[in-house]
Chains A and B, each alone.
Chain A
Amino acid sequence: MTIDSPGTNTESMAMSADTAGVAGVTRSRTTTILGAVVLAGAALWLFLAFGATDPDVRIVDGNEIGQFDAVRLMYVHVPAAITAYLAFFVTSVGSAMVLFKKSVWWDLVAGSSAEIGAVSAALALITGSIWGKPIWNTWWEWGDVRLLTTLVLFMMSLGYLAVRRLEGTAEERAKRSAIVGLLLIFNVILVNRSVEWWADSTIHQQSTIADAKIEDLKAFTLYYSILLGAAAYAWMLIHRFRLAWLERQYDRFGIDDAIVRRRAEGHTHSEGISS
């Protein structure tokens, strides 16, 4: 067999097409621009959080009180929590669309968003705990309604992701997970309103944003952090959606294609030996 035989060229082209461009398979012009914006925005975020804003210090009766530099944890904790709300809201919308329209696109969006939401909720819990230690003198309070409802929301999101992986037909799996996904939005409302509805059962402060408890640069930095969180969420969602699409395609066609490819490899290998 010679190098320029037509058969060899065709086979080698087919094989290289399979692995070509896999490194940036979820990347596009949109995600590249959005990713660059998020990265540049993150640099400004760090500057605002650590360089531009002052610590929380108030003078009362000649004594300095406040959160001091621990307040800088707000710029990472609040965006994490709000990104989780946003992600689970999208999951619930997607779940509704799955139930009413049986939409594949929305099913993948819902699943992708839930995974990002779970990561964000975990970060909200972790950063909240770290912030709570110096301010409340405790890492965790089991009787606190905000902490507990947030933990339940996180566990529910893991449950949703587990339900998506259960055995069954595509329709069964989509329907089951959509029902769980719809429940997430009710839990988001519960988490968000818990500090108002059960104010006596929480050490968590009420809404910083709604009650306008901070002003000027601190407020700007907080709003900016939330906006950056939303942009990072959008960037991640596009990538995660494209991965979900690949997972779906592999489930449907991957095994057949793998068999064909393996046969082609065996054929090429045997020809190589015989030549």
Chain B
Amino acid sequence: MTHVPYLIAGWGISLVVIALYAASVMRRSKRLAALVPVDRRRWMTGGDADVIGES
């Protein structure tokens, strides 16, 4: 196989960045979820207005 260092760099960086980004979203969600009441954590059950500026 040719160009192995380029393949490792290109594929490696991509897979690592995607995994780290996904983990960061999960971590931030977990941290924030602990600070938000259970009934307000999801869009479907949040009971919020759908228009910006209205509560």
Given the complex of chains A and B, what is the CA–CA distance between A253 and B34 in angstroms?
Answer: 13
Among candidates B10, B22, B36, residue contacting A249 with C-beta atoms closer than 8 Å: B36
A122 B17 Cβ-Cβ under 8 A: yes
B48 A69 Cβ-Cβ under 8 A: no
Within the complex, what minimum Cβ distance (angstroms) separates A146 from chain B? 18
Given the complex of chains A and B, what is the CA–CA distance between A187 and B33 in angstroms?
Answer: 35
What is the number of residues of chain B that contact chain A, defined by CB distance less than 8 Å? Answer: 39
B10 A104 Cβ-Cβ under 8 A: no
> Which of A77, A133, A134, A249: most chain B Cβ within 10 A?
A249
Main secondary structure of the interface of A (DSSP, over half): helix
Interface of chain B residues 1 through 52 with chain A (CB within 8 A): 1-4, 6-7, 9-11, 13-14, 17-18, 21-22, 25-26, 28-30, 32-38, 40-43, 46, 48-52
Known contacts: A20-B38, A242-B43. The answer to whether A69 contacts B2 by CB under 8 A is yes
Given the complex of chains A and B, what is the CA–CA distance between A76 and B28 in angstroms?
Answer: 27
A257 B25 Cβ-Cβ under 8 A: no
B10 A240 Cβ-Cβ under 8 A: no
Known contacts: A18-B37, A258-B35. The answer to whether A70 contacts B28 by CB under 8 A is no
Given the complex of chains A and B, what is the CA–CA distance between A26 and B33 in angstroms?
Answer: 9
Within the complex, what minimum Cβ distance (angstroms) separates B40 from chain A? 5
Known contacts: A104-B48, A122-B17, A253-B37. The answer to whether A245 contacts B22 by CB under 8 A is no
Q: Which chain B residues border A169 with CB–CB below 8 Å?
A: 53
The interface stretch among A2-10, A124-132, A154-162, A214-222 is A124-132
Q: How many A-B residue pairs have CB under 8 A?
A: 135
What is the number of residues of chain A that contact chain B, defined by CB distance less than 8 Å? Answer: 56
Given the complex of chains A and B, what is the CA–CA distance between A56 and B36 in angstroms?
Answer: 53
B37 A22 Cβ-Cβ under 8 A: no
Given the complex of chains A and B, what is the CA–CA distance between A257 and B32 in angstroms?
Answer: 12
In the complex, A204 has a CB within 8 A of chain B: no
Within the complex, what minimum Cβ distance (angstroms) separates A73 from chain B? 5
Interface of chain A residues 202 through 233 with chain B (CB within 8 A): 232
A119 B10 Cβ-Cβ under 8 A: no
In the complex, A182 has a CB within 8 A of chain B: no
B29 A243 Cβ-Cβ under 8 A: yes
Q: Which chain B residues border A170 with CB–CB below 8 Å?
A: 52-53
Known contacts: A18-B38, A70-B2, A104-B49. The answer to whether A243 contacts B9 by CB under 8 A is no
The 3 closest A-B pairs by CB, nearest first: A25-B33, A22-B33, A246-B32
A-B contact pairs, 20 of them (CB 8 A): A21-B38, A22-B29, A25-B33, A55-B1, A102-B52, A104-B49, A105-B43, A119-B18, A123-B17, A127-B14, A130-B9, A130-B13, A133-B6, A236-B25, A240-B25, A241-B43, A242-B43, A245-B42, A246-B36, A257-B36
For the complex with contacts A18-B34, A22-B33, 7 further pairs of A-B residues with Cβ separation under 8 Å are A77-B10, A102-B52, A122-B17, A130-B6, A131-B6, A174-B52, A250-B35
B contact set with A: CB distance below 8 Å: 1-4, 6-7, 9-11, 13-14, 17-18, 21-22, 25-26, 28-30, 32-38, 40-43, 46, 48-53, 55
